[in-house]
């Protein structure tokens, strides 16, 4: 494919400025996401694998916090930089496909403002890294198909190896790409560099495979549990509806024509990529995975659609500018539901308004934010919960306190106690996902239990005393009303207790 268009440096400056402004507006009001706290704990337990995720996010956080600390702005600032990378690569993908100014601007608008991209790029989890690897993979694949230079496909092997070490969603793309290659470019399967790239990818991924083998494949147990029921933090269960909604509904005017165009394009590179992307989307939908797994595919769909719109509006300068501005305006309005930029009180008013509209009457109590904005609710109440546990721990006489351990039901609770306690608490343990492996060999004779049902504690311990019922506003339902209890003298063996509290699923 020829590279006829040039980079739009004013557009690049616009993309960077928008991301930085959103980052600055988000500030600190919303606190750490529970996943961020969990991954910070994982960074303190470096390994080649974990129960519920490959090791890349823990490795990255260990390096990042080792250099700059674990302040919230450090984490979110790095996520912002990764998001800038995703956006600029997406714009350059359209440029490589021949897109000029209009196509590049439309693509930038989608990737900048669609909540499916913006929400992921506003927090530091594996998903923002995943989006970066997918985008970089598309870019390298287009370069290789357009030039046949082996360096690009070897780079693709590295990128896909890193993607596998980040999140195990990309194998669906491998299957879809292989199917498209079998239809349109079987000659690629005879090339030495292609198989060399596969070897590079497998070598990079091998540490995680070895770890899983050595630990009896806990990831398989996790996947079974994960797919058994939708996590509480998901408002939208249906993947297709979730994608349409979180891609910002007006943007369907861009990506849906692009999806269709990718299947029928005369251009062989677009047709190959478009076919693979459509197959991959179908695989995700059929598997019923969470809708955000498929978000990176919309880099291609939106880029292809932007190429069409540029062609259709080529001679209509006024309409072309109006369409770009209109799409950007709709994207700007979606920012508050994707990034933590609104003051919490205003977001609470939005939750109240939605709740009242559903009920047809005005509620007398604040609506639970987790019902409508769970990704924001997950950022609230962690300092308050930590302070409550500190208060109860320090109320225990000093002669007893040294033997008391902390046992949390959920990884967010354990992560908050470990990351936000200021050194005032012992290390918090849990049976939730990876904490189950980290507490090997531990005994729980005397614990402060956080977030467990009283019935479960009564079945496991001889003596259970409820110390406090924790309440919070704007937090997830599992935190509001949880009990903090003192539990002593287990009724079962240490290993039996560990198995009773083991949870390989999300709450």
How many Cβ atoms are within 10 Å of 231's Cβ, its own excluded?
Answer: 12
Tokens standing for 49?
Answer: 């694998």
Please report whether residue 334 resides in a domain: yes
Please check whether residues 298 and 271 belong to one and the same domain.
yes
Please report whether residue 506 resides in a domain: no
465 phi and psi angles, rounded to 5 deg:
-125, 120
Please check whether residues 492 and 422 belong to one and the same domain.
yes
Please check whether residues 214 and 111 belong to one and the same domain.
yes
Please check whether residues 208 and 170 belong to one and the same domain.
yes
Please report whether residue 434 resides in a domain: yes
Check residue 292 and give its pLDDT. Answer: 87
Burial class (CB in 10 A: 0-12, 13-18, 19+), 347: buried
Per the structure, the complete domain to which residue 369 belongs is given by 341-354+365-377
CA–CA separation, 139 and 119 (whole Å): 23
Please check whether residues 495 and 477 belong to one and the same domain.
yes
Mean pLDDT over each residue of the chain, to the nearest integer: 93
Please check whether residues 153 and 197 belong to one and the same domain.
yes
C-alpha to C-alpha distances, 483 to 281, 380, 498, nearest whole angstrom? 42, 17, 20
Check residue 229 and give its pLDDT. Answer: 57
Task: Name the domain count of the chain.
Answer: 3
Please check whether residues 347 and 333 belong to one and the same domain.
no
Check residue 392 and give its pLDDT. Answer: 97
DSSP state of 261: H
Please report whether residue 330 resides in a domain: yes
**pLDDT tens-digit profile of 390-420?**
999 999 998 889 999 999 999 999 999 999 9
pLDDT > 80? residue 34? yes
Check residue 233 and give its pLDDT. Answer: 45
29 band by pLDDT with thresholds 50, 70 and 90: confident
Please check whether residues 145 and 177 belong to one and the same domain.
yes
Please report whether residue 227 resides in a domain: no
**pLDDT tens-digit profile of 137-186?**
999 999 999 999 999 999 999 999 999 999 999 999 999 999 999 999 99
pLDDT > 80? residue 373? yes
CA–CA separation, 253 and 330 (whole Å): 12
Please check whether residues 329 and 471 belong to one and the same domain.
no
- Give start and end residues of each alpha helix (H) in 148-238: 150-164, 171-184, 192-214, 218-228
Please report whether residue 13 resides in a domain: no
Going through 371-460 in order, the beta strands assigned E by DSSP cover: 405-408, 428-430, 446-450
Burial class (CB in 10 A: 0-12, 13-18, 19+), 81: middle
CA–CA separation, 500 and 492 (whole Å): 10
Please check whether residues 331 and 346 belong to one and the same domain.
no
Q: Select from 19, 16, 12, 13 the least CA-distant residue to 76.
A: 19
441 phi and psi angles, rounded to 5 deg:
85, -5
194 band by pLDDT with thresholds 50, 70 and 90: very high
Please check whether residues 183 and 168 belong to one and the same domain.
yes
Tell me the percentage of the chain whose pLDDT exceeds 70. Answer: 96
Q: Select from 343, 306, 348, 338 the least CA-distant residue to 324.
A: 306
Please check whether residues 285 and 388 belong to one and the same domain.
no
Please report whether residue 359 resides in a domain: no
pLDDT > 90? residue 372? no
Please report whether residue 329 resides in a domain: yes
pTM score over 0.85: yes
């Amino acid at each position: 494919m020829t590279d006829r268009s040039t980079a739009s440096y004013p557009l690049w400056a616009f993309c960077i400025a928008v991301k930085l402004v959103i980052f600055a507006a988000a500030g600190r009001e919303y606190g750490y996401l529970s996943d961020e706290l969990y991954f910070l704990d994982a960074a303190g337990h470096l390994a080649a694998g974990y129960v519920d995720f490959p090791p890349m996010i823990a490795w990255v956080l260990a390096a990042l916090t080792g250099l700059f600390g674990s302040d919230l702005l450090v984490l979110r600032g790095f996520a912002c930089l990764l998001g800038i990378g995703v956006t600029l690569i997406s714009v350059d993908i359209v440029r490589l496909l021949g897109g000029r100014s209009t196509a590049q601007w439309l693509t930038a608008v989608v990737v900048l403002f669609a909540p499916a991209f913006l929400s992921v790029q506003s927090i530091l989890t594996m998903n923002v890294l995943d989006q970066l690897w997918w985008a970089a993979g598309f870019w390298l694949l287009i370069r290789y198909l357009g030039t046949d230079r082996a360096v690009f496909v070897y780079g693709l092997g590295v990128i896909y190896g890193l993607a596998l070490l980040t999140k195990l969603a990309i194998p669906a793309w491998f299957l879809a790409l292989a199917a498209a290659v079998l239809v349109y470019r079987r000659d690629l399967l005879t090339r030495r560099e292609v198989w060399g790239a596969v070897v590079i990818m497998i070598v990079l991924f091998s540490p995680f495979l070895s770890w899983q083998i050595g630990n009896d494949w806990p990831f398989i147990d996790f996947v079974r549990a994960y797919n058994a029921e939708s996590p509480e933090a998901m408002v939208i269960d249906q993947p297709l509806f979730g994608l349409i909604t979180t891609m910002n509904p007006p943007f369907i005017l861009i990506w849906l024509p692009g999806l269709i165009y990718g299947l029928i394009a005369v251009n062989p590179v677009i047709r190959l990529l478009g076919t693979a992307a459509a197959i991959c989307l179908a695989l995700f939908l059929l598997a019923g995975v969470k809708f955000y797994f498929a978000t990176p595919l919309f880099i291609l769909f939106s880029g292809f659609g932007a190429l069409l719109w540029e062609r259709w509006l080529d001679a209509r300068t006024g309409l072309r500018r109006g369409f770009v501005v209109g799409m950007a305006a709709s994207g700007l309005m979606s920012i508050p539901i994707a990034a933590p930029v609104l003051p919490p009180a205003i977001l609470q008013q939005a939750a109240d308004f939605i709740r009242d509209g559903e009920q047809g009457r005005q509620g007398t109590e604040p609506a639970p934010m987790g019902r409508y904005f769970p990704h924001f609710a997950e950022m609230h109440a962690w300092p308050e919960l930590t302070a409550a546990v500190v208060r109860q721990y320090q109320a225990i006489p000093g002669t007893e306190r040294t033997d008391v351990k902390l046992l949390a039901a959920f990884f967010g609770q354990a992560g908050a106690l470990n990351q936000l306690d200021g050194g005032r608490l012992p290390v918090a343990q849990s049976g939730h996902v990876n904490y189950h492996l980290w507490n090997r060999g531990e005994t729980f004779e005397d614990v402060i239990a956080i977030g467990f049902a009283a019935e479960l504690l009564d079945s496991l311990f001889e003596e259970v005393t409820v110390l406090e019922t924790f309440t919070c506003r704007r937090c997830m339902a599992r935190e509001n009303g949880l009990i903090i209890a003192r539990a002593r003298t287990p009724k079962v063996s240490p290993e039996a207790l560990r198995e009773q509290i083991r949870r390989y699923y999300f709450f």
